[in-house]
């Protein structure tokens, strides 16, 4: 939920580029879906993709906050 809320706040505040906020929303949604990987193997692929999206978004989020 932190990633969704942070991205939503960035999208509304215009403090970061719009694409960073949208990428964060995508990462947050895929993380929420990926949390159910132990309940259903159907979401295992989404969880695997989220393992790459999450660190990438955290790096972008950190770099953008430093540049402000």
Q: Where do the domains of the chain lie?
A: 2-67
> Does residue 67 surpass a pLDDT of 80?
no
**How many degrees, rounded to 5, is the angle at CA 52 between CA 46 and CA 58?**
120
Query: How far is the C-alpha of 53 from the C-alpha of 27, rounded, in Å?
Result: 6
Residues 22-59 have pLDDT tens digits of 999 999 999 999 899 888 888 889 999 999 999 998 88
Query: How far is the C-alpha of 1 from the C-alpha of 42, rounded, in Å?
Result: 22
pLDDT band of residue 12 (cuts 50, 70, 90) is confident
Query: How far is the C-alpha of 46 from the C-alpha of 35, rounded, in Å?
Result: 9
The length of the chain, given as a count of residues: 68
The pLDDT score that the predictor gives to residue 68 is 57
């Amino acid at each position: 939920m932190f990633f969704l809320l942070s991205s939503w706040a960035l999208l509304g505040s215009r403090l970061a580029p719009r694409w960073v906020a949208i990428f964060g929303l995508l990462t947050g949604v895929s993380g929420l879906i990926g949390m159910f990987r132990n309940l259903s193997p159907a979401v295992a692929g989404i969880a695997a993709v989220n393992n790459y999206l999450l660190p990438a978004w955290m790096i972008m989020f950190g770099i953008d906050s430093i540049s402000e």
